[in-house]
Amino acid sequence: MARILVVEDDSSLRQILEMFLKKAGHDVVTAASAEEAAPLIEPGDFDLVMTDLKLGRRSGLDILSQAKAAAPDCEVIVMTAYSTVETAIEAMRRGAFDYVGKPFKLEEISITIEKALERRELSLENIRLRRELSGRYRFDQIVGKTARMKQVFETVARVAGTKASVLITGESGTGKELVARAIHFNSPRKDRRFVVVNCGAIPATLMESEMFGHVRGAFTGAHMTRHGLLESANGGTVFLDEIGEVPLPMQVKLLRFLQEHTVRLVGGTEEIPVDVRVVAATNKDLHEEVRAGRFREDLYYRLNVIRIHLPPLRERVEDIPYLAQHFVDKYCRELGRPPLAISQEVMERLQSLRYPGNVRELENIIEHAVTFARGPTIEMDALPEHVRTLAVAHATPLEDVTAIPEQGLDLEARLAEIEQRILLNALKRTGGVRKDAAALLGITFRSFRYKLAKYGLGPPMEDE
């Protein structure tokens, strides 16, 4: 059922339309003039407005403009016995769904009404999906309590409203695409497209055509003109994932696009203006790739206007409880299960893992656990077998702690990780009694409590 306003000064036609629409199950309001209709039009009041073009001193085009101003997704059908090309064009320019000449058959206009309401429904669905996406990619959906993650949140919040190119770095599974989507859905471009281009998945021979499009006959198999991914993101954001995999010849073309903001279809001659915000991501050290001659320095600096680095999960162990509960809540909703808690034993096991797959690996473990949990709490038997059978003592060997990888390391983060593990082990040894844990480590209780607060390790506790 739709709510429909009929504005028609011919009383017989107005009554006929009213009876016809009510019989079809719609809620119908009628008005005999523009003056009578104007006060009725409020935001969200009507799904469809059907208005005569000539309404005494005022035009139905005025009603059309008022209806679209009040609710842009409200559809409007203009009816007239004085059809001209000029008025039809003007009606469509102002946003009319259709322009119908009188006299018309009820069967014919019923098809127009049905199509108008279908488009209205599609518009509402698009609005709902955009709101859902915006909610899903709010900043608070990126979970983390550590100082490094808070810095990431602050940077994302500051750059979202700008047009600056962003380069997101980090290991696979750290959430680079999630951050890219947060930037887009918290920007003025949120109502336009977010296009993901996986540069590592496109064959080098097809990359130019995929990104820039091609004209008919540009190469064997190009049977029709096809626009590329960059142009399809016009007005929105393009996410160039695995940017380090782009071949050198394509890097030149990508650099030109970033400089000129135009694309040229393969085989074409026309320069097409494109307004897109570029967010790129890589798990490679692009600076090292530049030094090795595998990545253009000028392209690197074009992309690296603002850099956001996502630390691996093993460097922010204190975030694991928050991430784990976040994923438990997510999969409980998706699977229709009541809320689940996580047992202390399971949490300790989760915090003992090294997570080469980072946040994505933790999410997979939690999805498995929620699926197989038998009661109100996730116990060890719900975890994947490879996690259950892991040795409990998962301490990092000393040589691993002191080893320096080729790309270097964040010393402060490494030291913080070691300190957090020692604090957690001390609490485990003393059954959670903080004074005993402080004594075990040879530090004051005040110092121990400060360190726990610094890393966000558990809720505040009363002094033992």
Check which CATH number belongs to the domain holding 434 and give it.
Answer: 1.10.10.60
Q: 82 and 179, same structural domain?
A: no
CA distance 58 to 52: 10
Query: Given this model, what pLDDT does residue 400 score?
Result: 57
- Averaged pLDDT for residues 243-257: 94
Residue span of the structural domain in which 279 resides? 142-311
Per the structure, the count of domains in the chain is 4
Domain boundary, last residue among 287, 311, 335: 311
- Averaged pLDDT for residues 458-463: 46
Report whether the peptide linkage leading into residue 247 is cis, meaning its omega lies within 30 degrees of zero. no
Whether the predicted pLDDT of 291 surpasses 80: yes
Phi, psi (rounded to 5 degrees) for 341: -100, 165
DSSP single-letter state for residue 234: T
Q: 114 and 19, same structural domain?
A: yes
Whether the predicted pLDDT of 55 surpasses 60: yes
| HEC string for 165-188 | CEEEECCCCCCHHHHHHHHHHCCC
- Averaged pLDDT for residues 118-146: 70
Q: 352 and 326, same structural domain?
A: yes
Whether the predicted pLDDT of 67 surpasses 80: yes
Q: Which ranges of 282-396 does DSSP label H, i.e. alpha helix?
A: 286-291, 297-303, 320-335, 344-352, 358-372, 385-388
CA distance 47 to 30: 14
Token reading at 74? 């409200």
Q: 71 and 88, same structural domain?
A: yes
**pLDDT band with cut points at 50, 70 and 90 for residue 140:** low
The closest of 70, 47, 192 to 126, measured between CA atoms, is 192
Within a domain: 349:
yes
Distance set, CA 246 to CA 133, 179, 257, 271 (Å): 29, 21, 14, 22
Q: 103 and 179, same structural domain?
A: no
- List, for residues 160-208, the tens digit of each pLDDT value: 999 999 999 999 999 999 999 999 988 999 888 899 999 999 998 889 9
The closest of 203, 202, 275, 263 to 238, measured between CA atoms, is 275
Query: Given this model, what pLDDT does residue 254 score?
Result: 95
**pLDDT band with cut points at 50, 70 and 90 for residue 78:** very high
Whether the predicted pLDDT of 346 surpasses 80: yes
Domain boundary, last residue among 311, 345, 363: 311
Q: 306 and 173, same structural domain?
A: yes
Token reading at 322? 């928050």
Domain boundary, last residue among 394, 417, 433: 394
How high is the mean pLDDT of the chain?
86
Whether the predicted pLDDT of 318 surpasses 60: yes
CA distance 367 to 324: 10
Q: What CATH number is given to the structural domain containing 379?
A: 1.10.8.60
Q: 58 and 42, same structural domain?
A: yes
Within a domain: 193:
yes
Query: Given this model, what pLDDT does residue 463 score?
Result: 43
Q: 127 and 176, same structural domain?
A: no
Q: 284 and 270, same structural domain?
A: yes
**pLDDT band with cut points at 50, 70 and 90 for residue 414:** confident
- Averaged pLDDT for residues 57-74: 88
* Bridge partner residues of 272 (DSSP): 263
How far does the chain reach from its first CA to its final CA, in angstroms?
64
Query: Given this model, what pLDDT does residue 391 score?
Result: 46
Distance set, CA 173 to CA 177, 322, 367, 401, 405 (Å): 9, 17, 15, 22, 19
**pLDDT band with cut points at 50, 70 and 90 for residue 403:** low
Q: 464 and 350, same structural domain?
A: no
Q: 165 and 127, same structural domain?
A: no
Q: 277 and 153, same structural domain?
A: yes
Whether the predicted pLDDT of 459 surpasses 60: no
Portion of the chain with pLDDT greater than 70, in percent: 91
**Dihedral (CA of 138, 144, 150, 155) sign:** negative
Query: Given this model, what pLDDT does residue 151 score?
Result: 87
Specify whether the CB–CB gap between 178 and 281 falls below 8 A.
Answer: no
Query: Given this model, what pLDDT does residue 226 score?
Result: 82
Within a domain: 137:
no
Query: Given this model, what pLDDT does residue 380 score?
Result: 93
Burial call 92-130: b when 16+ CB within 10 Å, e when fewer: eebebbbbbeeeeeeeebeebbeebbeebeebeeeeeee
CA distance 440 to 437: 5
Query: Given this model, what pLDDT does residue 149 score?
Result: 87
